[in-house]
Structure 1
């Protein structure tokens, strides 16, 4: 039973609904300051994952090549368009007040939230662990942060934040049910490097959340697909040649 996945999806949906309803009552200064705290939390989670890295060359290779691939296939632009369609669909039923945000900033923030909820290393790894061992603790811990993160972002973005729970649950459920195939093929080093790659994305997401630097986090997602094969190749073929 994918309890962790369901709870995580509900935390995003409920947090988004509450934020959309009470957003107008919160001062902008309060929302901005709390968003800075969430940004530093994302950075901290990213750093805590990066330090687990076993094979730095493999992870760095995956992040660079994965990002280059994402830029080449215009993954970020595709996700931007998807975010726009999502917002337009929700706006028909729940018109949102975008406060003082311009359209470009609105879309950029929405993409940041989509990647944060759907493509974090913590969520992906937690879904695999949940499906393989029945341990939902990782996703439960993520759900607490996601609840409040969704609430704060929904204050500015509106009800569309709740809809992100749908693609998030689809992705995590696929990983949950495929865990029996994925996990046995992974070594501890591959898992550690996978977490580290997700940590890079979480760190970049934190920079975007505090609006310090707009990293192309959506284009970085292919790195998470490449990192495990890269880690395996490094350990089994490249490292023996250079050591």
Structure 2
């Protein structure tokens, strides 16, 4: 079953959210310290990804700048916030606390990364679930901590994870190995790593960054690399 890895990941996120929600109330000072600790780990993961493709640093800079311009013009963050607040209204009878921040932060953290793409491609191409199984363990633990800090909105991130990874797995299953190439994976990994660093900075309270408005960079980077590669081989 080529969607098994994605389904396990979704279940892990929901299970981690449930654990984080039912845990005894964590003192504010302890919660803040734990959140900063998680933020530092997120930044470390993002940096390791961002530095994995230094050969394409100029291309990545170009993609991030142009992606930021495109994201601001498209107002992607506003779309995210409208969706998040709509979900808040739907769940108001069950939970009256903030949902939007947890949903947005968790969605970006769980979806922006090489493990999501590589794992979903392996899932679709070969029925190999190992990468997504490993990701599900990381996402489950992250969901516990994020839920204790940001609330149960973290669990709603399971929906975009299911759609995002499921679509990649389905496309890979139907159309072969187009996505399973360094031309695609490397620039997405490096660019996604920078976005994860931005998420970590937000979790640490260092700076408010419009991460959703940077998402077009993850599309521009592999497209630009494929075009450059094609031109260089003419």
Tell me how far apart the structure 1 counterparts of residues 149 and 140 of structure 2 sit (CA, whole Å). 15
Aligned partner of residue 211 in structure 1, secondary structure: coil
* Deviations 1:213-238, CA, capped at 9 Å, x for gaps: 2221111111111111101122332x
Where does residue 55 of structure 1 map in the other structure? 56
Deviates more, 1:11-20 or 1:159-168: 159-168
Tell me how far apart the structure 1 counterparts of residues 133 and 153 of structure 2 sit (CA, whole Å). 23
Tell me how far apart the structure 2 counterparts of residues 193 and 144 of structure 1 sit (CA, whole Å). 25
Aligned: 1:173 with 2:166: yes
Matches within 5 A, 1:206-225: 206-225=200-219
Give the TM-score normalised by structure 1: 0.85
Where does residue 40 of structure 2 map in the other structure? 40
Give the TM-score normalised by structure 2: 0.88
* Deviations 1:9-34, CA, capped at 9 Å, x for gaps: 11111111121222x52222222222
Deviates more, 1:54-63 or 1:64-73: 54-63
Deviates more, 1:110-119 or 1:211-220: 110-119
Where does residue 107 of structure 2 map in the other structure? 114
- Closer/same/farther in 2, CA of residues 171 and 29 from structure 1, 3 Å limit: same
**How many residue pairs were aligned?**
231
- Closer/same/farther in 2, CA of residues 184 and 110 from structure 1, 3 Å limit: closer
Deviates more, 1:185-194 or 1:82-91: 185-194
- Closer/same/farther in 2, CA of residues 163 and 112 from structure 1, 3 Å limit: closer
Tell me how far apart the structure 2 counterparts of residues 74 and 45 of structure 1 sit (CA, whole Å). 27
Where does residue 85 of structure 1 map in the other structure? 86
How far did 1:119 drift?
Answer: 3.2
Tell me how far apart the structure 2 counterparts of residues 173 and 228 of structure 1 sit (CA, whole Å). 20
Where does residue 8 of structure 1 map in the other structure? 9
How far did 1:109 drift?
Answer: 4.8
* Deviations 1:79-115, CA, capped at 9 Å, x for gaps: 01111111221222x22445xxxxxxx6445422221
Matches within 5 A, 1:119-158: 119-158=112-151
Tell me how far apart the structure 2 counterparts of residues 198 and 17 of structure 1 sit (CA, whole Å). 27
Tell me how far apart the structure 2 counterparts of residues 42 and 156 of structure 1 sit (CA, whole Å). 15
Aligned: 1:228 with 2:222: yes
The two structures, once aligned, show a CA RMSD in angstroms of 2.3
Tell me how far apart the structure 2 counterparts of residues 108 and 66 of structure 1 sit (CA, whole Å). 22
Aligned partner of residue 183 in structure 1, secondary structure: coil
* Deviations 1:113-149, CA, capped at 9 Å, x for gaps: 2211233343233212222233323222222221122
Structure 1 unmatched runs, 5+: 99-105
